[in-house]
Every structure is written in C-alpha cells, then in structure tokens.
Amino acid sequence: MTPPLSRRAVLQTAILAAAAPGAAYAAGGRAAAATLPAPSAWTLRPFQLGEVALGEGLFAAKRALMLDHGRGYDVNRLLQVFRTNAGLSTLGAVAPGGWEGLDGEANGNLRGHYTGHFLTMLAQAYGSTGEQAYADRIGSMVGALTEVREALRHDPAVLAVAGRFGTAPENVRGSYQYVDLPADVLGGASAITLSAWVKPTHDANWGRVFDFGNDTTRYLYLAARNASGVPRFAITTGGPGGEQGLDGAAALPSNVWSHLAVTIAGGTGTLYVNGAAVARNTAMPLTPAALGTLKNNWLGRSNYATDPVFAGAFDEFNVWSRALTADEITALQNSRAADSFAGRGDLASYAFDETTGGTFADASGRGLDATLRRTWGGPSHPGFLAAYPETQFILLESMTSGDYTKVWAPYYTAHKILRGLLDAFLYTDDARALDLASGMCDWMYSRLSPLPDATLQRMWGIFSSGEFGGIVEAICDLHALTGKAEHLALARLFDLDKLIDACAAGDDTLDGLHANQHIPIFTGLLRLYDATGEQRYLNAARNFWDMVVPVRMYGIGGTSTGEFWKARGVIAGTIGATDAETCCAYNMLKLSRMLFFHTRDPKYMDYYERALYNQVLGSKQDKADAEKPLVTYFIGLTPGHVRDYTPKQGTTCCEGTGMESATKYQDSVYFKAADGSALYVNLYSPTTLTWAEKGVTVTQTTDYPREQGSTLTVGGGSAAFELRLRVPSWATGGFRVTVNGRAVSGTPVPGSYFTVSRTWRRGDVVRVAVPFRLRVEKALDDPSVQTLFHGPVNLVARKTSTSYLPFGLYRDAALSGDLLPTFTPVTGKPLHYTLDGTEFAPFFEGTEDPTHAYFRRAEPKVAFGNTDSGVANPAKDDGTTLLDDIWAGAPFSGKGALVSRVRATVDAWVAAGLLGEADGEKVVETARNASYAS
C-alpha cells in the first residue's frame, strides 16, 4: 500500500506546480539598483534608505562611528575563513577572532556569520550615503566569495608557495587538505627511511607530517608536534599503548623550513631534525613489514579523526627501503634528494614542483602518483558556500540534542551569508551576488528536501545547533527576485510546526525557549504568509508578538535573560547582568515593522520607538574604533551594571546586528500607503524624505528626543495626500499640530495617528508639539521595582552601588502627573537630572558608566508638594500604595480636583480598613495646604 503524502509533501507539490518563474524586481532610487517587489498583503510600503537622508542629530552621530568602521576595516580578515576553507591564499590576513575564526569559541564553528553581517552593513551604508567606497568593498568581497565557491566546486588544487628548493604546496590552516598516497607506498620494507621538508604555520599539537595506517590500532606516523610540542615518530600494531616511539628535543619553528627524517633498521629507530640525530630508540623491532599493506597513507592527515590537519607547506617527501646513514641525511640539507648521495627514494619520491592541479608525480619509478584531497570530500551541490565544510550541516541531520562544540547553528550562519549577498545585490546590482545567493538556496533545497518531516522537525527544535535565524525571510526575499519554485518550497522546509501551531492557537509555550533562536522565525512566517496566503502564519506572528510585548519585555524594549525566556510576567525576577540580548531587540524591531505593514496597528510603532531610542541606541558605544563595532551583546540591567561593548573580541551575533542597526536608523521614519494616499510619520527624527512618486520632499527639523516635537517642511511640487502623524501612547497631554502657524482641529488620541489631509505645496510647514512627561513603569511581578521614562527616553541612574537605589518621586509631582518637578535639571546636559545627589541620564548614551535602569520605589510617608503629612504610606497586598492610588487619577485640572481625588481615595481606604480615619484626615489636610506645579 502506498503511504499517504505528508502535509509538507502536498504543500511542496502545490508550490512547485504554481510558483511563477522569472525575476521580478523594479528599479530603485539613489544607490539602490534593485528593490524587492512589495507583497500585495502589505497595506503600507517602506521607502528605500537612499530616499530618506539622516540629518544632524543623535542618529547621525551614532551612524558616523559605524560608517567609519565600515570604511576602514580590512575585509580580507573576514574573507580569511572562506579562503582557507577553499584552500586559497589568505593574502596574509588574520581572522578577527572571537566567534569569527578558526581559534574562536567552539572551534570557530560559527565562522562566516560575521562576513554576512558586514556585507549587509556595507550595503546599507552605500544605500544611505551613495559613497563609492562601500560599493567597492562589496564588489571585492563578492568577487572573493565567487572565487571561493568556484574553488569548492572542484577537487582541491595546489596553493603554490616558495619551497625549500623550488615551489611547494601549502595547506592553509582550515583548508582540511591532505595528500593521499597509494596503498603500497611503504612497500612492506623491513628497513626504511622517511624524509620530508616541512614549514609549519601553526602550533597545533598532533598535526601529522605523515600517517600511514588502517585505523587507530595499526599505523606509523610523524607528528610535527606532540602533546609536549616537539616532533614525535611512532609505530604500532597495538594502538597507542603499543607505540614504539621517538620524541624530539625542541619544537619546530613556525614559518621556517625544517628537515625531518626517520630511519628504522635492525631494531633501532632514529629521528633527525635538520640533519642532526635528536632521538634514538634501540628497542624498535617493528617495521613496515610488520604493518602489512595499509589502507590510509596520508601526508598532513591523521588516522585519529580529532587531530588537526597539518597546517603548513611540504617539500621533497622521499621513502627509501633502507636506513640512510647520518652522512646521507646530512647531505639532504643542502640539495635535492636527486642530487645527493642518497638519490631519490626508491619506494616513493615526490618533489612537489607542481603549481596547478592536485596530482603529484612519483619519481621513484614505481608510479605511485599522489593526489591532493579534502578530508570531507567536497560539497554535495555546486551552490554550496560556507567558511567551513559541509560536515556541520550533515551532522545536524542525525543530532538529537545540541552541542555547539560539534555543530553550531550552520543554517544560522548560512542565513547571515545569504542575507549579506542579497543586500549586496539589492544595493549594488552585482549579479554575482544574486547568483551566489541563488546557488546557496539551490544547495539547501537539494540537502533538505529529501529529508523526512520528522527529521526536519527534530533539527529545528534543537537548541543552538538547529538555530536558523531569519533564513526563511531571506529565502522568501530571494524567491521574490528569482521566482524559482524550489526557493519557496525551501522556505517552507524550515516550518517548526510545534511552535507555529501553538502560537497560531494563542498558546504561550515560550517559557524556557532560546529567545533569539525563535524571534526571527516569525518574520519569516510573515513573508511566507505574503507568498502563500496561509493564515496560520500571520496568526502565529501576531500572537507571538503579544507573548513578548509587554509580558516578557524590559522597559528599554529588550527581552530575554541569559538568552532565554522565563515565564510571562516575570520581569523583576529576571533582572541581571545578562538581560536583553541585543540581537533580540534587532529582531523584534524587524518583526514589529513587518506586522505594522500588515495591520497598521500603532502599538507596533510604539514598541519600535521604545526599543530603537533606548536599547538599540544604547547598545552602541559613543566611541570610534577601527577594529571593533563596539556594540553590546547583553545590555545588562542589574543595578550598577557597566556595559561591555567588546564581548568575545567583538564578533558575536550582536555586534553583527549592531552594525546593521547603525546603518539603517532611518528605515522606519516614514511609510507610505500602498495606494500612495497617505504618508505615515512614525518617528520624529531629523531626516529628509524624497517621495519621487509625489514629486515632493519632506524635511524634519528636530533635536528629538532632546526636543519635544518636530517641524516638517514640504518641498518640491504640490501633491494631495494625508499626513499621518504618530501620537505616542505616552503622549497623554498637549500633543498639538499646526500647519503654517494655524492649529489643526481634531483630538489627538495617544497610541494612534493624527491625520492632516490637504493638497501640500512647496513651503508648507507642519509643527508637531509632543510634550514629554516624566513617568514610571512598574515591573509586572514587583510594582516596587520601577524604571523611569521622560517621554520616549529611559532615564538611568549612574552610581557604582550594586543594589537597588531607593527613590521617592511623588513629593513634588505636578498636577499633570508629571514627576519631573521632583528632579533638578543638570545645566548644559539635556535630559540629565539629579535626585538626592544621584545623576540620571538617557539610556541611549553609550558610556561605560555604572547604571541603574531599575530602582526601588520608596514612598514611606504621604507627602504633597514637599510637605510631609507624617502619615505612613499604606499599601495593598499587590503593592499599590495610597499615593499610587491617588496619583493614578492624574492629570488634574487644578488643585481642587487633586484634593477631591485625595478625599475620595482616603475615604475608600478608610472604609476598607487600610487607613485610620485620623490619619486620613491628616492626608487630606496636607493635600489641601500644599502647593503644586501645573
């Protein structure tokens, strides 16, 4: 009986049958050669980066630091790991280190991710500024990656370097290359000499000069360095415990040619280094004759799978069926073997004077030609492109639990490379970049499409190893460009059904999940909804967002602690040094932006402002650095935390997304309605929009958030459209709009958009007043733990103390409910205030000061207008105090309204037995006699 098709198979068949072929992209604006077609499901459209110019201000200053970094960093350092994987010259470049390099954390198993981030950063920098230097750097990187893919498509070829006598092949560290010799190379000899010239380029222990054996039981080898760092020769028929060995006396120097030779005859073995005998063992009866014909005969590779491949160059490898004399070995130091007393090896002789290809002729007369190979063979598909072998992808398919020391998110790394290539194409129109991106997806489809559903579901559910980042979004974007059916089918192979179905049903299963492994999944689901119309994708994304905001969100907009989510509503209980991974904020912004395209719900832009103006800006240090982007990994919210802007040598995921964030600050300032009927002003930021379709420009002049409002000036021709100005949810009083000096009628509603509809003409001036109010936001699980906001700006206390600072804020509160009168402004420092000798500053300032983002609210006595009633401030079981209840009625139209609120609240508390009647009268009398700011 034929088994029924799986749900996935049915969907794939439908997609392959229905998807339209062919590219579909339109010409874009300045510095943007191509644009993605906007999905029909989007009710709004973004503008290109080149259409929105940043003016002088907070964002431009932060961006300038990143632009300088992108302009000056040596991109060959990023390409180093790709070139090594392909066995190409690295041009002397050294990888950055940290997570990006062979020696990084977990053996560098994430290498290549940072290159993708850097490409995106350069593309956005070019798109924003039009500066040719960024396009040139993109072109050189894409060219190098094209060469890498071409090299990986074929058998490895010799990288020729200057040898001891002529040219020599070099095994670049990380190339996984070795020389494979025929099985009869040792000839069953009862006496032998093996001789080689080597130039090590790395000091890893146990890299083999040669290793001839069947497995880890029967072999003979010569390691350039043993565990003690000196050369070692060993022969055995009984594994490591039966080794008969010779150990050198000193380490071989790096980047210097050294001659090594081993002789065995008559039970004696001798090890020579540069012509001098450095070790002799008279108890070595084993010879190649005792080993028999061996299966694996390798130069540069070990029969122990965990040993490193030898990194360095080889010259002149010879094998003789006798023990050369000391004089003969000494003579080998100054001439080729062919020109020495010894002559060529009679069992095998390789001069390595080959500069192309991967075959080495044997000059012994036995015809034992050798072949250059990779330990992992080669890619399963010609589209493969990575900075490490395909083995990580293959191993993931059989893993049942995560182990990032073996497999560290290979599809996540593939996503970063794919995204970088797509952005390179979109901003520079480099067809090579699109070809590389398309090839990667062709390869992934060939790799994943044959796998059973159960295997895919298991893979994507594995922590860290199965993480795939925003790859679905990138694949859908590619599909919009290529129209290839396989690309859309590939995007759906990443469906993690358990998560999607739970979120679509509104079931919150996030507790314990790795936050940034899952957030970008939902941007991909939205793009799948755009491409397929499947409602569960949209439902899942919308419901997921509500499971994070606000129930797992810190005041700055960030989420996660130690990279993971805890139970919903637990905020104070998770505050620590590893809160709010910066990547999470980056991806939540992307998700919020995309949800707004679909729904136009202002809550998404409220969140966008919160996270952008606080965590994202605050994650970038206000300091120039040529080598590092200086972006936080964890932002850290524990009292007295000092931000670390160079974690793990500056190459983590968060430095990567931080580079991207800093070159696209303007991407969500304006959106346009799909039919062109309206312009949405989402953020108040100094910018100039060029709206080509309407023939107008809109220039915002503002120092927001240091200024409480913005001025918009229309330029160009005339055009009719609605101007929709965001009214932040925190703007609860005084939001006003004038056009050419005349007030616009209407009632602004916090958390909505205020619409001005007219035919706009050159010179029209719109003034938006957005008065700030100082307010607190309480932790959901402990109302006494609070964070302070002035308008959109989170204010943090700066103090070295590592415990929560206690502050009372009601004593001078204004009738409007504004807490600002309790604070004293710092002269000459906008948005800086002091309270009880402690300075408060904006979170967005990227300093290394110890900060307190949260404090402990302490209102021990009931006071009004700095007049103390002498009555203790009582509290309910949930932590709400009498003063909280009173001031919850703000704003008050006047003092009488406040006193009335006090009277009503006191009466209710007295009736509930929470406050004594006499104390209640003292409270009312104090409120009546106090004076207040308006």
Helix (H) or strand (E) holding 709: strand 709-716
Residue with tokens 């632009």: 67
Q: Residue 32: pLDDT above 50?
A: no
Banded model confidence at residue 894, pLDDT cuts 50, 70, 90: very high
Instruction: Read off the pLDDT of residues 140-192 as tens digits, 9 standing for 90 and up.
Output: 999 999 999 999 999 999 999 999 999 999 999 999 999 999 999 999 999 99
Sequence-separated (6 or more) residues with CB below 8 Å from residue 590: 470, 520, 523
pLDDT tens track for 860-876: 999 998 899 999 999 99
Assign 630 to helix, strand or coil: coil
Sign of the dihedral defined by the CA atoms of residues 66, 70, 74, 80, in that order: positive
pLDDT at 34 over 80: no
Asked whether the beta carbons of 234 and 243 are under 8 A apart, the reply is yes
What is the average per-residue pLDDT within 660-672? Answer: 98
User: pLDDT at residue 59 above 90?
Assistant: yes
User: What's the pLDDT score for residue 103?
Assistant: 86
Q: Look up tokens 């993708």; give the residue.
A: 116
Residue 357: the pLDDT is 87
Alpha helices in 461-571 (DSSP H): 471-482, 485-492, 497-504, 515-532, 535-548
pTM for this prediction: 0.94
Distant-in-sequence, close-in-space partners of 537: CB < 8 Å, separation ≥ 6: 500, 504, 525, 526, 528, 529
In this predicted structure, what is the pLDDT of residue 356?
75
Strand-pairing partners, residue 765, are 713
| Minimum mean pLDDT range among 32-36, 473-477, 555-559, 923-927 | 32-36
Q: Please name every residue paired with 262 in a beta bridge, in sequence order, or none if there are none.
A: 194, 271
Q: Which of 798, 866, 875 is nearest to 838 (CA)?
A: 798
Q: What is the pLDDT of residues 410-424, one digit of tens each?
A: 999 999 999 999 999
Given a cut of 60, whether residue 20 has pLDDT beyond it is: no
* Predicted confidence band of residue 529 (pLDDT cuts 50, 70, 90): very high
Task: Tell the residue number behind the tokens 């679509």, with chain if given.
Answer: 504
Amino acid letter, 454: A
770 confidence band (pLDDT: 50, 70, 90): very high
Residue 33: the pLDDT is 56
Predicted confidence (pLDDT) at residue 492 exceeds the cutoff of 80: yes
Residue 778 CA to residue 880 CA, distance in Å, equals 11
Give per-residue pLDDT as tens, 309-318. Answer: 999 999 999 9
Sign of the Cα torsion 837, 843, 844, 845 reads positive
What is the average pLDDT value for the chain, to the nearest integer?
94
Task: Determine the pLDDT at residue 934.
Answer: 84
Q: For residue range 97-139, list pLDDT tens digits in order.
A: 999 998 888 989 999 999 999 999 999 999 999 999 999 999 9
Q: How far is CA 87 from CA 421, 432, 467, 706, 827, in A?
A: 22, 21, 28, 53, 60
Helix or strand (DSSP H, E) at 474? helix 471-482
The DSSP line for 871-925 is EE--B-TTS-BHHHHHHTT---SSHHHHHHHHHHHHHHHHHTTSS-HHHHHHHHH
- Rounded Cα distance between 907 and 926, Å, is 15
Residue that is written with structure tokens 């209102």 in the block: 859
The count of residues in the chain is 934
Q: How far apart are CA 373 and CA 672, in angstroms?
A: 55
Which two three-digit tokens encode residue 594?
């995309």
pLDDT in tens, 800-838: 999 999 999 999 999 999 999 999 999 999 999 999 999
- CB 442 within 8 Å of CB 379: no
Tokens 């099985």 belong to residue: 183
Place of tokens 């049942």: 400
Q: What angle do CA 554, 558, 561 make, to 5 degrees?
A: 80
Residue 617 binned pLDDT confidence (cut-offs 50, 70, 90):
very high
What domains sit in the chain, N to C, each tagged with a CATH number? 7-37+73-176+376-453+462-492 (no CATH), 182-374 (2.60.120.200), 670-704+709-769 (2.60.40), 859-934 (no CATH)
Task: Please tell me which residue, 35 or 918, carries the higher pLDDT value.
Answer: 918
Q: At what angle do helices 7-18 and 485-492 cross, to 10 degrees?
A: 160
Mean pLDDT of 771-787: 96
For the beta carbon of residue 33, count every other beta carbon within 10 angstroms. Answer: 17
Could you check whether the bond before residue 891 is cis, i.e. omega within 30 degrees of 0? Answer: yes
Is pLDDT of 31 > 70?
A: no
